Structure 1
Amino acid sequence: MKLLKFLLFPFAFIYQVITQVRNLLYDYQIFKTTITKPLVISIGNLTVGGTGKTPHVEYLIALLLEKFGNQSLATLSRGYGRKTKGIIIANQKKINQEISAQTIGDEPMQLFSKFGKGITVCVGEDRVKAVEAMLAYKPTIQVVILDDAYQHRAIHRNINILLTDYYQPFYSDCLLPVGRLRESRQGAERADAVIVSKCPNNLTTADKSNIALQIERYTRPQTPIFFSTLVYQSPIPLFENYEISNLKEGSNIILLTGIAKTFALLNYLKTKYQIVKHFEFADHFSYQETHLKEIISYYLVENQKNTCYILTTEKDSVKLLPFQKILQAYPIFYLPIEVQFLQEEETFNNFVLSKF
């Protein structure tokens, strides 16, 4: 592994030069940054995947809906994992256009399923044109949340939030392809706030100070640093054929995941259930009928030995819904998660709301 990393360093150097030149072109306004009519919050990271962006986006949606109300808020992302191209507004009903994880991506579909009645959910490669399209569709939009757009500098943002994983912080990482960084650590200087995500609940003040010292080597002076954790909620049946009470603590489960990192999830589930089998797929994985039939076959064999259940993530659940005909007869549950700030919730809320 060390030899492989050594061999990859020249490619990491080339990648660093390319990303630094690109950032300089934006810094010196050679590349244009467009200021849009709606206020913009960007939430993203320096690394590839797995920092918990979507739960933090959901937190921001709930916070901003309280201030601005329904129909004033929108989310915009590229729509990773979708099978379509171009700008799609999920709320805009068009003939022959089905809205699903296949057409808009799993994370936007999760947001649309939860908040679609109150906000506009949009995907598009060109963020500036996508904002224009959303305003044409719904002129009442006042705030746009850019999901995973830290490196997308073509659109101006009023708040630039950087997420970093507690277990894999950006300050200990290297550039692609040696490490997982999309750009150099110095990119943290653009952040208006940093959130250290997926922290353990028992994080001490000393731990926070040590982490903050590392982060402050790369951020602007006085940049606020917050610490958050993921709180797992009670499992919810994917279909209406089972009750929540069926899945009791200590039950045998078959786990199905298609997310970037499973470390925190597995740690939690091992304290609650007996994991009989883990079907682990890549992030944004597009499930096919053959994959699900394999899982069901495994379930049928295991369930004859001991009663068991199928458990998946909330992100994966939206990709399973189109397969209701072959799945609805089985006990499939998904696990919602929420973000909780460690003693800093009010401070973070005030920081965000003070910008508007």
Structure 2
Amino acid sequence: MNEGFVKINKWLLPFSWLYGVGVRIRNKLFDFNILKSKVYDIPVIAVGNISVGGTGKTPHVEYLIRLLKSQAKVAVLSRGYKRKTKGFVLADENSTVRDIGDEPFQMKRKFPDIYVAVDEKRCDGIERLITDEQTKETDVILLDDAFQHRYVKPGINILLVDYHRQLIHDKLLPAGSMREHKEGKNRADIVIITKCPESLRPMDFRVITKAMNLYPYQTLLFTTIEYDNLQPMYCGESRPLDGIERNEHVLLLTGIASPQHLMSDLEKYSNHITPLSFGDHHQFTPKDIEKINQQFDELPSPKLIITTEKDSARLLGMEGLSDQVRHHIYTLPVRVKFLLEQEETFNNKITSYVHKNSRHSILVKAKDDHKPKNRNHSGDGTRTISFRNN
């Protein structure tokens, strides 16, 4: 297991102990039903993590969207981290990053036919989605970054764990990056080890499986990151990653929690990667734009800028990028791929749950010519369940 990305500030461990006491008390209040978790009569799937940032929540939520959108009306509900609005906001074609946050903005741009909403109070957000006239036809709600939001009890709770930051190597905040004790993983129905190298050996899978120490009712899966073609932010044509020349200089512009993994992946294509890193969900300023222009101008040719989809969402509304930057800046879309041929296992679990629990599932009786011809024969004709016809 790779523990190189785990940073522990040992001098903060006493504060982690105090933080952990507070987390345990809160979780016990929910476990003993003193604080209430609400159950809804609509499929609710939560995707989240125990460690802060960088586990691949957005690509996994997008995987779920792709899986379900042709069969059901999908809504994604997020808190809209770092947005400038309050309360419930339903995204539309005019929504900006300031209105809904960068990740919801990214998902609405990529999947305009689904509902994307933000609300810091998830229960209020769910109530609005299932009762408002515009969204009441919702079949399934995907909760983004909601593993610790225990006021909602999802039908399926998906926990993501970064392969490079295994729980056994990490510590609680503020010394480490864990939001709660590793025992919190026991609430998950599905645990996914994300960002795995495709070269993992069978022994590696066995070691991780033993270290996770899950219960029989939990499913452990493994995913890796796949990259699509580079997409121009402003002008030009898409480029395959393997079309980058080894001597081409790449300015890697990121405002994400863990850029190390992306950096190491891009080093397979270019010998010259220059990182320009900002904090997670960084709001770019005019001074940042000047810095981007300057650093790109200083790179020798041939050159290009690569940034993430999340960062591009925040850059698009900014003014001041030079013409040279605009002609050479690309976004790098990512997708998740299941290892060990586990995709079918995951897909079946998700679609079966949504199928059985959707409020709008239609009970379709068999046609008369499929019913038993002998009217004295006991028993009903065959019935099937299907999603709505979207």
Same fold (TM over 0.5): yes
Quote the Cα distance in structure 1 between the aligned partners of 2:151 and 2:142: 15
Give me the whole-angstrom Cα distance separating, in 1, the residues matched to 2:291 and 2:12: 37
CA–CA separation in structure 1 for the residues paired with 2:158 and 2:297: 45
Asked whether the equivalents of residues 255 and 275 of structure 1 are also in contact (C-alpha less than 8 Å), the reply is no
Q: Distance in 1 between matches of 2:88 and 2:331?
A: 29
1:127 aligned residue (122, 125, 132): 122
**Match for 1:337 among 330, 334, 339?**
334
The structure where helix makes up a greater share of residues is 1
Specify the SS of the correspondent of 1:354.
helix
**Residue 353 of structure 2: SS of its match in structure 1?**
coil
Runs of at least 5 residues in structure 1 that lack an aligned partner in the other structure: none
Deviation at residue 205 of structure 1 after TM alignment: 1.7
Q: Does 1:237 align with 2:232?
A: yes
Q: Which stretch shows the higher mean deviation, 256-265 or 324-333?
A: 324-333
Give the TM-score, by structure 1 length: 0.90
- Residues 28, 53 of structure 1: alpha-carbon distance in 2 compared, 3 angstrom cutoff: same
How far, CA to CA, are the matches of 1:256 and 1:152 in structure 2? Answer: 31
C-alpha distance after superposition, 1:199-223 (max 9, x if no partner): 000112221111011112xx33231
C-alpha distance in 2 between matches for 1:173 and 1:299: 36
**Which of the residues 197, 204, 215 maps onto 1:220?**
215
**Shift of residue 264, structure 1, vs aligned partner:** 1.4
Q: Separation in 2 of the partners of 1:246 and 1:64?
A: 28
**Secondary structure class of the residue paired with 1:49:** coil
Deviates more, 1:187-196 or 1:293-302: 293-302
Task: Give the one of 159, 162, 181 matched to 2:156.
Answer: 159
Deviates more, 1:21-30 or 1:325-334: 325-334
Distance 2:104 2:162 in 1: 21
**Structure whose alpha-carbon radius of gyration is higher:** 2
In the alignment, the residues of structure 1 paired with residue 121 and residue 189 of structure 2 have an alpha-carbon distance, to the nearest angstrom, of 23
Contact 1:197 1:228 (8 Å CA) reproduced: yes
**What is the 5 A alignment of 1:168-317?**
168-216=165-213, 219-239=214-234, 241-245=235-239, 248-250=243-245, 251-302=248-299, 305-317=300-312
Provide the aligned C-alpha RMSD in A: 1.8
Instruction: Spell out, residue by residue over 1:104-130, the C-alpha distance to the aligned partner (whole angstroms, 9 max, x if none).
Output: 1111111111012x2110111100111
Gaps of 5+ in 2: 1-7, 355-390
Alignment correspondent of 1:34: 38
Q: CA deviation at 1:245?
A: 4.6
Q: In 2, distance between residues paired with 1:115 and 1:288?
A: 28
Matched with 1:23 is 27
The residue that corresponds to 2:3 in the other structure is none
Partner of 1:104: 100
Identical-residue share of aligned pairs (%)? 39
| Deviation (angstroms), 1:277 | 2.5
1:59 maps onto 2:63 in alignment: yes
For the Cα contact (< 8 Å) 2:289–2:320, is it kept in 1?
A: no
* Aligned AA (2:346): F
Partner-residue secondary structure (3-state), 1:176: coil
Is the Cα–Cα contact under 8 Å of residues 195 and 224 in structure 2 kept in the other structure?
Answer: yes
**Does 2:82 match 1:84?**
no
Distance 2:126 2:88 in 1: 10
**In the superposition, relative to structure 1, how do residues 275 and 86 fare at CA in structure 2: closer, same or farther (>3 Å)?**
farther
Query: For 2:179, what is the secondary structure of its paired residue?
Result: coil
TM-score normalized by the length of structure 2: 0.83
Counterpart for residue 13 of structure 1? 17
Structure 1 moving runs of 4+ over 4 Å: none
